[in-house]
Amino acid sequence: MVLVRSSIFLLLLNLLQGSDASFIQLNNNGYEGIIIAISPGVPENEMLIEKIKDMVTAASTYLFEATERRFFFKNVSILIPDTWKEKPEYKRPKHESYTHTDVLVAPPTLPDRDEPYTNQFEPCGEKGKYIHLTPDFVLGKKENEYGPAGRLLVHEWAHLRWGVFDEYNDNEPFYSASSKRIEATRCSSGITGMNRVYKCQGNSCVFDRCKTDPKTKLYEKNCQFFPDKDQTEEISIMFMQSITSVVKFCNEKNHNREAPNLQNKMCESRSTWEVISNSEDFKNTIPMVESPPSPIFSLLRIRDRTVCLVLDKSGSMQGERLNRMNQAAKYFLLQAIENGTWVGMVHFDSSASIKSELIQIISTSERNQLLNSLPTAAGGGTSICAGIDVAFQVIRKTYSQIDGSEIVLLTDGEDSSARNCLDKVKGSGAIIHFIALGPSADKAVIEMSNVTGGMHLFASDIAQNNGLIDAFGALTSGNADISQKSIQIESKGLTLMNGLWMNGTVIIDSTVGKDTFFLITWVRQQPIIFLLDPNGTPMKNFTMDAASKMAYFSVPGTAKVGVWTYSLQAKENSETLTITVNSRAANSSVPPITVNAKMNKDTNSFPSPMIVYAEILQGYTPIIGASVTAFIESNSGKTEVLELFDNGAGADTFKDDGVYSRYFTAYSENGRYSLKVRAHGGANTATRNLRLPSNRAMYIPGWVVDGKIEGNPPRPESNEDTQPNLESFTRTAIGSAFVVSNIPTHPLPDLYPPSQITDLEATTDGDMINLTWTAPGDNFDVGKVKQYIIRISESILDLRDKFDDALQVNTTDLLPNEANSKETFTFKPENISEENATHIFIAIQSMDNSSLTSKISNIAQVALFIPQGDADEIDPNPNPGISISSLVLIVVGCVVLVSIILSVTIYILNKKKNSSRSRTAF
C-alpha cells in the first residue's frame, strides 16, 4: 500500500505529548476555545471555511436539543495553515496551535477512506484526543455515506468530550437476542430495517437473503443491516444519528444492554446518557430556558515560528549543570530547531540581559552565531520574571504582538517571586515551555506552561539519563510539517570505568535519513569514538567541542539505510558518556515513523494510579507488533522500567491501534517525574495496521424505502488488515513531566488490586463453554493474581449489579498465569433452567494475595438456543430487472399452466380407464 503524498502533512503527530491538553472550557452552558485546524495538506479552498461554519452551527443546535437544552458551541477558532494565502481577516494565533487541535480537517488516513473518527484510547468517561474529518466530508461530498455533517460532529463530540463509545460493532454486527432471534447490533432495538447481503459486480448490484453460519449460529459475514429511512424511534445518536427521527442519546430506560457493542463493553453496560450525566460538564450546568446564540468564529493563520531562549545562569547553575545546559542548547540550535524559525536569547540570574536579538535561521551561519551567545559563567540569584520580561522585549522589537511566540525557560532554582508575573504571562499570548533542571526547580512556573499551552519537561542531575538533551529535543514546532521536524532515533547513556567501552547500534530506516545528526557527550575527558555506517565505512569528520565536552557529526546528504555501529571508550574512571541520534524525513512524500509519549495526567496524588501511553504511527496508520519500553525517572534519578503493550487488556483500551499502554504505580518519592519511551520494530514483527479506526463513524450501507433497499456503494476496504512486515526501526520520545504528591515515607502497603479484565470472550462447544481473556496482575497489570472468581447468571443486570449473589463456577484447576499472558478455561454450566433461560452471562473477578479484588470484567454471553432468522419472506429486490407486476403475471401464468396440465392429465386417464373397461367386457 502506497502512502499518499498528502499524508505527509501530519501536524498532529505530537498530539500524545503532554502539552496537548485542549483549551476547551464550558462557560454558561457554552463550549469555548474549540480549535478546528485545516491541515496544510488540504488545498486552499475558501468554501471549506464556510462549510466548517455551517457544520458547527448545525451541530450546536442538534447538540443543544440532544442534551436536553444543556450544551451548545459558543466560540470556535478555525486554524488556517501558512500554505494558504494571507488575508486581512486572518488573525495571528495566540496559544492556538495544531498541537491543541480538537477537530482536524485533513486528508484521509488512506485513499478513499473518508470515514470520520475520534482518536480515543482512554477508559470510558475520559476525554478523547481529537476528531479527524476529511475535506470531502466537510464539503458535503460524503453525506450519502455518513449523513449530515452537523449531526455527525455531535456523534464524534460525544467521543471526544465525554468518553462514550459507539453502539454499533462492525466486527459483531449481529447477536443472539433474548427474544431468541438474530438481531442487528444497535441501540435502540426499536430501530427497524432489513438484513441483507449486498453484492455488486461491475455496475450490477443485487440483494440476497442472509444465510446463517453453522458455526456461529448468526448471519454470514457479509450480511448487513439496512435501516428504514422513515423511523419514529428517537434514539440513539451513538448508533445512527443520520436517521432523521434520532435526536437523543440512549438512557438507562431504553438502552440495549444485550448488544455486543463497545459502549456496553467499555462502560459496564451503562447507557451513553448515564456516562454523559456523570461528567463534570453535566454536573456543572443546568438546562437553559432561552435558546442559545449562534457560534462565533475566529479565523487564525499560522505565522513563522518565534522562539526566545531564557537560560538560567544563577549561582546554582555553576559547574556541571551549566555545561550540561550548554550541551543541550547547542543540540537544540544545531539540530532540533527548524529552518525559518526566528530565535533570540536571554540570560538571567537576579536580573536579565539580552544576548541575541531575534535571528531567522536560514543556514548554519545563524546557528553558529547563536551558539556563541550561550553563557560561559554562572553566579547570582534567580529572577524568573526578569528573564521573561526581557524575552518579551526581544520579541516586541521584531513583532508588535507577541501572540503565539514561544519562550523556552530553563531554570534549576526556586524563585518565590515567580508567581508575581503569572497574570502578565497569561495575558501576553506567548507560550511558555518550562524545562526544570534538578529537584529544586521552581514549581510555580508549571502553571505558566499549563495555561499557555507549553510543555513542562524535567531533567534530573543524573547525566547518563540524558534528560536535558532529550528535553530540548522535544521542543520541535507544534505547527511545522512533519517532514521538517527532527525525529529522535536514539538516546542512551552509560557510566564506565577507565578503558571500558560503550557499544551499540543505531538503525536508520528508509523513512528517515535526512540531516542525520550524531551527538556524543562526556563529563571528564574526550572518549575514543568509532562510528561505522552500514557498509562498515568509518565516519571521521566529528566536530570536537572540548569546551562543552561534546562531539557531533552530521551525515552528508541522506544517511544510508541500515545498522550503524558505534563504540565509545572511556578515558577516565566513572566517566559518563551519552549518545543522541536525530534525523528528518528522507522524502517529503513519505511520512516517517513517529513515536509519541504521555502520561494520562500531569499531576497526581498517591495512591491513584497513572497510565503510560505511547503511540507509534506512520502518517495516521498505526504501527503494531513493536517492542515498546517506558523509562520513568524520579526527582532523585531513580528509574522504573515498564514494558508497554497494545493488547487491548489492562490499561490498553484497544488492541492493535498503535497505542501501547501500561499502569504505573511504582512511586518512589514526591515531586517531578520524567518519561522517556523507546520503541523498536523488528523486521519480522512490526506491521502497519490498515483496519479502519475503532471509533469511526458508521458507514450508511443504504436505506429501506417503501419496502425496497436503496443501497450505497460498498464501503472502501483494504485488501488486507496489515501490510507486509516493516523494516527494522528504532525511536525514542519524551513525554511531559508529571508531579506526584502525598506519597508516605513509610513502606507502602498493597493498595492496588488486579486490573479489570476487559477482553473476556465466550464460545460454546457442545455443552461446554470455552473462555479466553488476558491475565491481569497482582497490582493492576504487574505480577500474578492469586485466583479467579467466575460467576454466571441468566440475567445480565443481576450479574453486573449483584455479582456476589450469582452462581459461582468451580475454578479449582484454574491456575493464574503472569500478567498479560493469555488465559483459557473450559467448564460445563450447571443449575441453569434451560427451559426458561435464553442466555448464560459470564463475568470474572480477580483476587490478589492481599484479598484485593478487581472490578467485574466485561460480561460475555452465550446463547442456549439456535436463534431464528428473518421472518419476512419477500425479498426486497430478488432481480433488479424484473418488476413486481411482471412477477405477478408470471405467477398467474404458472397457475393457469398447471391447471391446464392437470385437466389434460385427468381427461387422458379417464379416457384410458373407459377404454380398459370395454376391452374387459369382451
Give residues with Cβ within 8 angstroms of 201, minimum separation 6: none
| Cα–Cα distance measured from residue 4 to residue 597, given in angstroms and rounded to the nearest whole number | 26
CA 182 to chain centre: 33
Edge-first strand listing for the sheet containing 729-741: 603-605, 729-741, 671-681, 627-634, 639-644
For 452, counting Cβ atoms within 10 Å of its Cβ (0-12 exposed, 13-18 middle, 19+ buried), the class is buried
Closest CA to 307 of 273, 349, 338, 335: 338
Placement of cell 468451580 in the chain: 810
The question of whether 156 is a catalytic residue gets the answer yes
Q: Dihedral, CA atoms, 506, 510, 515, 518, nearest 10 degrees?
A: 0
First to last CA, the chain: 91
Amino acid letter, residue 890: I
Could you give the strand order of the β-sheet that contains 528-532, starting from the edge strand earlier in sequence?
501-508, 562-569, 528-532
Q: What are phi and psi of 749, to 5 degrees?
A: -75, 170
In whole angstroms, how far apart are CA 594 and each of 4, 42, 691? 17, 21, 19
Which secondary-structure segment (H or E) carries 903? Answer: helix 884-921
Helix (H, G, I), strand (E, B) or coil at 22: coil
Residue-wise over 66-95: b if at least 16 C-beta within 10 A, else e?
bbebbbbbbbbbbbbbebbeeeeebebbbb
Q: How do beta strands 627-634 and 687-688 pair? A: unpaired
Burial of 25 (0-12, 13-18, 19+ CB in 10 A): exposed
Whether 566 and 508 have beta carbons less than 8 Å apart is answered as no
Measured CA to CA, the distance from residue 910 to residue 914 in angstroms comes to 6
Around Cβ 795, how many Cβ atoms within 10 Å? 14
Q: What angle do CA 396, 400, 403 make, to 5 degrees?
A: 85
Residue 65's alpha-carbon distances to 105, 151, 246, 247, in angstroms, are 26, 11, 11, 7
Catalytic residue among 156, 183, 366, 406: 156
Q: 558 with 513: CB under 8 angstroms?
A: yes
Q: What residues act catalytically?
A: 156
